[in-house]
Amino acid sequence: MKDGAERRERKEVEHVAGELRAALLKQLSRCGPSDIIRLWADNTYASFVFAIVMKLYLDSASRKNFLEVGASVGSLGRFRRRFTGTRGAVRSALRLRGHCIGPVDYERFLVMVATEFPDLTGYIREIQRVVPRSFPLRLSRAFQRASARVIFGTPDYEILMERAVLEEWIEKKGRIPIFESDTRALSRAVNRFLRDELPKIVHGMATDLEARAPEMIREEEAIRRDFEARLRARWGGAFDLLESIVRMAREVGEKAMQTSARMGDRKVANKASALFRLHIRGIQVTSEILALCRAGFADGALARWRSLHEIAVTALFLADKDEEMSRRYLGHATVQNRKEAQNLNEHHRRLGYRKVDKRLLARLDAQVAALESKYADEFRKGDYNWIPKSVLRDRNFHGLERHLRMHHLHPYVRLASNAVHGGSKGFFLIGVPDRARKRWPVAGSTDYGFADPLQNAGLSLVQLTACLFHLVASVETILSVQVMLKFQARLSETAMGIQQRMEEELQRGRAIGAPH
């Protein structure tokens, strides 16, 4: 062989061996410490490199090469016949079908070539100029040293399962499952592992987590306390203003209910029931918004404001209409009850519940039929079909907003909806500064983005409280709502001021808005 050809041959051998070395070391580091897999990797690599060199001897046996080193042409036929079985073993080793060739096999092969074919001395010398006799042994020992130094990461449970299945397979088959014929057998091995070993792993995980849970919870509580203290230092003034509005709304509602009960006006009984219930529900939702803000969840707070806004819009509509509209509104709950009962019956087995009693369903059907007979107008069809078509042509929430000239707030509703639904816009959080939204969404609290949920919640609760004036038109109610409006204006000013200062800090490059 010429010098250039020799270098190319050696580089090819080194390249192929290097690719296998990298793949095996990667597999070792992935599976974690396993004596079985490491021994298999060491033996597989050794078998492979010995087979590569032996293949070079076998493939180079040609008429041209034999004549160049002075060997007889007759030796070529005898050489090929003598090592037919060896060629099969080499082919099997190169396909990683078990540990077919070791150092003893390699040395025996070289001895047989030298003793049985003395006229091939020159041929052997030429081959060993490309790859020295000790070359495969050096590679295999270097791999053993490298495999012993592999740094293992912390394996997850998927890797642990893979390692266990591989170990069982290697022990039985003496190789890894790499052929199509292995697919069914490997599937059975995985199923056996899932049946026999997985419950033990799950039990071990649960026991370990249970033992560590108190410490983890203490750490989380300490982190949360520290975060909430920092959050209050920045936003506490705005939080307190919203809480003051909640307190005033509660007091106005309590007094209005007491006055309405004393008056006992049955002509507006349905209207009073609807508006007081909506007001109580609005106070509850505002308290939830405040709790979410204090915990650092701006998007969750804005999502709850969407509910508060719907409550306020509904109350404002009913407050402006007559008693009959409130009766229709309250009666529509029966339609919803019937739909929910039907939905539960469709899925009760999967959920593990009993079906709704047939007699109850019959009563609900009769009640819904009576409502339809009374109101017609497709009363049972839509969520807002309790409103006559003559009053609201587009019977949906957006139509209701337009009817009350409150649709200017709908952009906030759309923004809040991002955190409610599963659409891709849900990744763009108001609780994260713009520049940070390019990264992954935040899975925790932040100290940013509370201006909108705070001022929107204050406004909606004031609107909701003002509806009570239609039931109890007292000077005290008017004065209380006016005071609430003053607090709402201060809340908006304070929250927007804090947000503006945070934006300025961001412009200066100061890190804010980080999750706890």
pLDDT in tens, 274-286: 999 999 999 999 9
Tell me, what's the pLDDT at 258? 92
Side chain identity at 235, as an amino acid letter? Answer: W
Q: Which two tokens stand for residue 228?
A: 């909430």
Same domain, 248 and 107: no
DSSP structural state of residue 192: H
Q: Which residue among 125, 153, 181 closes a domain?
A: 153
Same domain, 141 and 262: no
User: Residues 374-401: pLDDT tens digits?
Assistant: 988 788 888 999 999 999 999 999 999 9
* 315 assigned to some structural domain: yes
Are 235 and 498 spatial neighbours (Cβ–Cβ below 8 Å)?
yes
| pLDDT band of 219, cuts 50, 70, 90 | very high
* 378 assigned to some structural domain: no
Question: Comparing 149-153, 311-315, 442-446, which segment has the lowest mean pLDDT?
Answer: 149-153
CA distance 350 to 342: 14
* 226 assigned to some structural domain: no
Q: Where in the sequence is the domain holding 7, given as residue range(s)?
A: 3-153
User: Residues 487-497: pLDDT tens digits?
Assistant: 999 999 999 99
* 336 assigned to some structural domain: no
Q: Which of 260-264, 406-410, 416-420 has the highest mean pLDDT?
A: 406-410
CA distance 465 to 70: 110
Tell me, what's the pLDDT at 243? 97
Q: Which residue among 153, 177, 194 closes a domain?
A: 153
| pLDDT band of 423, cuts 50, 70, 90 | confident
End-to-end Cα distance, the chain: 69
Question: Comparing 93-102, 315-324, 479-488, which segment has the lowest mean pLDDT?
Answer: 93-102
4 pLDDT above the threshold of 60: no
| pLDDT band of 437, cuts 50, 70, 90 | low
CA distance 345 to 355: 5
Question: Comparing 77-91, 111-125, 169-183, which segment has the lowest mean pLDDT?
Answer: 169-183
Same domain, 149 and 254: no
Question: pTM value?
Answer: 0.66
Q: Which long-range contacts (CB under 8 A, 24 or more apart) does 436-439 make?
A: 436/513
Its sign, for the CA torsion 298, 456, 466, 400, is negative
Same domain, 278 and 139: no
* 379 assigned to some structural domain: no
Cα-Cα-Cα-Cα dihedral of 397, 403, 408, 413, to 10°? Answer: -10
Mean pLDDT of 422-448: 75
Beta-carbon contacts of residue 35 (< 8 Å; ≥ 6 apart):
none
Same domain, 297 and 442: yes
* 216 assigned to some structural domain: no
Domain count, the chain: 2
User: Residues 92-133: pLDDT tens digits?
Assistant: 888 776 557 888 888 998 899 888 888 888 888 888 888 888
Same domain, 313 and 445: yes
Same domain, 126 and 262: no
Same domain, 142 and 251: no
* 272 assigned to some structural domain: yes
Q: H-type helices in 117-197, by residue range?
A: 121-130, 135-148, 157-173, 183-196
Same domain, 145 and 260: no
Q: Which two tokens stand for residue 80?
A: 């090929």
Same domain, 257 and 135: no
